[in-house]
Amino acid sequence: MRQSSLVVIANRLPLDDNAAPDGACEWRRSPGGLASALHAILEQTPATWVGWAGGVGPAPALPDMGSLRLRPVSLTEDELRGYYEGFANSTLWPLYHDAVQQPTFDRGWWETYRAVNQRFAEAAAEIAEPGAAIWVQDYHLQLVPAMLRELRPDLLIGFFLHVPFPPPELYMQLPRRVELLRGMLGADLVGFQRPQAAHNVAQLAKKLLGVVATDDAIAVDGRTVRTGAFPVSIDVTEMRALAARPDVVSHARQLRHDLGVPKRVLLSVDRLDYTKGIEHRLTAYSELLRDGFVKVRDTVMVQVAVPSRERVESYQDLRDRIEGEVGRINGEYGRVGEPAIHYLNQPFARSQLAALYQTADVMVVTPLRDGMNLVAKEFIAAREDGAGALVLSEFAGAAAELEQAFLVNPHDVDGLKDTLLQAMKADRGDLTARMTAMRQHLTEHDILAWARAYLTALDHTGQLAERLPANPRPRRRRPPRQRSAR
C-alpha cells in the first residue's frame, strides 16, 4: 500500500458512476459543493483522497487523477441506508440546516454510522505516512477525527464542516450529541464556514463536556482543539476560463435564442434539496405572474434542479411537489411554445453551467439555509461582462461575503417578490458596481486561498500549503471511463 503525507477523507470521491446509454458505467464529476471545491485543488496536489465512489458492493479500482490518488471505500446496501441515507442525510443534514425539514431519529442508524466512520478512519490510518496530515470533511464523518487519534496518535488531524453547525438548542435534540461532539473534537483544528458555528460548538463543549472553551480554542483531554471560520470558495480561474471560451459564449447566445429572446432570464441552479428554498421561490414567481408584475412573453425562469439523494423519501416527496407546482404554473401562465418555467432535472457539464450563468439577467439563489452556496460564487466568476444581478438568501454562508448582492429573507415571500422585481429593474450602472466589488472579493478569496488558509492554520509551518499548486489550471481532461463495480 502506497503511503501519503496528506490524506483527505470525504464521504464522496470527486467521481460518481453513472449508467451510460449502452448500460456501461461512465464516471462523471459528482455535483455538490464539497466535490467541486476539493477537486479543484487536489487534482494537482500530491495527496490521497479516501471516499465512496457511489453505488454498493466491492470498491472499484480507480486510476489516479493527476497527482491525486483515489482510495475508494466500499458500502453495502445496509450501510448505504443506515449511514448515508439515514443518519447522515435524514438526521444530521436536516438538523444542521435549522431543521427546515423534520430530522428523523432512528435508533438503528447510529451503529451503522459509527461502523462506517470506523472503516473510513482505518482506511486513512493504513495509508498515512508517520506524522502525516489528515483532513476529514463534513458531517458524514464526524466521528472520524477521534477514531483516527485513537488509531494513530502521531497524525495531524483537521476537520472541516461544509454545512452549518446548528445553534445549541437544535443540536441538543440529537440522542448521540456527546459522542458526535467528542468525535469532531478529536481533531487538532476544526474549521467551519462561519464564526457563529465555532461559537455554537464552544457553547456546547462547555455545556455537554464541562470543559473550558472559547470561540477559537477548546480544551479537551489535555489537548487544545483550535476552531475557526474558513469560508470555502470556488476555482475562480476555471470558471473565468470556461466563461471566456468562444464555444461557451456562443452557447450562451444560443440558449437565449432558444428561450425566445426574452427581455429577462431568471436562473436558479440547485441540487434538488429542501434546503434550497425552491418551493418558496416558485410561490414568489407564480404570484408575480398572477399579479401581472411579470409577463411570460417578457420574462422566463429557468430552474435547474439536479437529482440528489434520490432514494431518500423526503427528497422524492420534494421532487413530486416541485414538479407538480412547475406543471401548475406552466399550465396556468404558459403559452404554446412559451412555458413560464423551464425546469431541467439533469446534470450539466461545467461548460454548460458557465453558459447558463452568462444567459441569466437575474441569478436567484435563495436557500432557506446553506453552509456556503458555491453556485452564487460561480455565477459571479462567470460574469466577465459585469452584467447580471444576484439575488441571494441571507441564510447562505455566501451572503457574509457577497454583500453587494440583492440580499433577501427567502421565508418572506412578499420580500422575495419585491427583491426579484428590484433586481429585474436595476440599472446597468448599479449592477456593474455590485458585480465589480463581488468579483474583486472572489479573486482574492478563491479555493486556493481557502485551502492555504486552512492548511497553514493546521500545521503552522506553511509546509502543507506548499504542496498546493501555485495557480489552479483550467482542466480540459475528461474523467476516466470504467466499468461499474455494481
Site residues, ligand G6P (CB under 6 A): 12, 32-35, 138, 162-163, 308-309
Q: How many CB atoms lie within 10 A of CB 310?
A: 10
Q: How far is the CB of 392 from ligand ADP (least distance, A)?
A: 11
| Among residues 36, 89, 91, 286, the one that binds ligand ADP under rule CB under 6 A | 36
Q: How many CB atoms lie within 10 A of CB 474?
A: 14
Give 163 or 301: the residue with its C-beta nearer to ligand G6P.
163
Q: Does 348 bind ligand ADP (CB under 6 A)?
A: yes
Determine contact, residues 77/56, Cβ cutoff 8 Å: yes
| Among residues 243, 368, 375, 448, the one that binds ligand ADP under rule CB under 6 A | 375
Q: Active site residue: 273, 370, 445, 446, which one?
A: 370
Q: How far is the CB of 308 from ligand G6P (least distance, A)?
A: 5
Output DSSP code: residue 403: T
d(CA 151, CA 129) in angstroms, rounded, equals 13
Q: Please identify, among the stretches 88-96, 289-297, 367-375, 460-468, the one whose residues bind ligand ADP according to the rule CB under 6 A.
A: 367-375
**Alpha carbon of 345 to those of 28, 248, 283, 319, 366: distances in Å?**
16, 21, 19, 9, 18
- 38, amino acid identity: L
By rule CB under 6 A, what count of residues binds ligand ADP? Answer: 16
**DSSP string of 457-476, one letter each residue:** HHHSSSHHHHTS-SSPPPP-
Q: How far is the CB of 32 from ligand G6P (least distance, A)?
A: 3
Q: Does 148 bind ligand ADP (CB under 6 A)?
A: no
Pick from ligand ADP, ligand G6P, none: which does 301 bind, CB < 5 to 8 A by kind? none
Q: Is 420 left (phi over 0), alpha (psi -120 to 50) or beta?
A: alpha
d(CA 164, CA 96) in angstroms, rounded, equals 6
Q: Does 372 bind ligand ADP (CB under 6 A)?
A: yes
Give 80 or 185: the residue with its C-beta nearer to ligand G6P.
80
Query: How wide is the angle at C-alpha 152 spanned by C-alphas 149 and 154, nearest 5°?
Result: 95
Determine contact, residues 285/291, Cβ cutoff 8 Å: no
SS3 27: strand
Pick from ligand ADP, ligand G6P, none: which does 219 bind, CB < 5 to 8 A by kind? none
Determine contact, residues 428/385, Cβ cutoff 8 Å: no
Q: Active site residue: 39, 97, 162, 280, which one?
A: 162
Give 306 or 449: the residue with its C-beta nearer to ligand ADP.
306
Residues 6+ apart with CB under 8 A from 254: none
Q: How far is the CB of 254 from ligand G6P (least distance, A)?
A: 29
Q: Please identify, among the stretches 27-35, 106-114, 289-297, 467-475, the one whose residues bind ligand ADP according to the rule CB under 6 A.
A: 27-35
Give 109 or 333: the residue with its C-beta nearer to ligand G6P.
109
d(CA 198, CA 216) in angstroms, rounded, equals 7
d(CA 420, CA 93) in angstroms, rounded, equals 29
Pick from ligand ADP, ligand G6P, none: which does 284 bind, CB < 5 to 8 A by kind? none
Q: Please identify, among the stretches 46-54, 312-320, 346-354, 465-473, the one whose residues bind ligand ADP according to the rule CB under 6 A.
A: 346-354
| Among residues 121, 181, 252, 304, the one that binds ligand ADP under rule CB under 6 A | 304
Q: Does 374 bind ligand ADP (CB under 6 A)?
A: yes
Pick from ligand G6P, ligand ADP, none: which does 148 bind, CB < 5 to 8 A by kind? none
| Among residues 56, 306, 437, 465, the one that binds ligand ADP under rule CB under 6 A | 306
Is 154 assigned a catalytic role?
no
Residues 6+ apart with CB under 8 A from 11: 51, 52, 84, 88, 120, 137, 138, 140, 141
SS3 44: coil
Q: Please identify, among the stretches 31-39, 182-190, 200-208, 462-470, the one whose residues bind ligand ADP according to the rule CB under 6 A.
A: 31-39
Give the closest residue to 61 by CA, choosing from 92, 25, 90, 87.
25
Determine contact, residues 64/13, Cβ cutoff 8 Å: no
SS3 76: coil
Is 270 assigned a catalytic role?
no
Q: How far is the CB of 218 from ligand ADP (least distance, A)?
A: 27
Q: Please identify, among the stretches 18-26, 53-61, 288-296, 345-353, the one whose residues bind ligand ADP according to the rule CB under 6 A.
A: 345-353
Q: How far is the CB of 372 from ligand ADP (least distance, A)?
A: 5
Pick from ligand ADP, ligand G6P, none: which does 309 bind, CB < 5 to 8 A by kind? ligand G6P
Enumerate binding residues for ligand ADP (CB under 6 A).
31-33, 36, 269, 271, 304, 306, 347-348, 353, 372-375, 378
Q: Active-site residue numbers? A: 162, 370
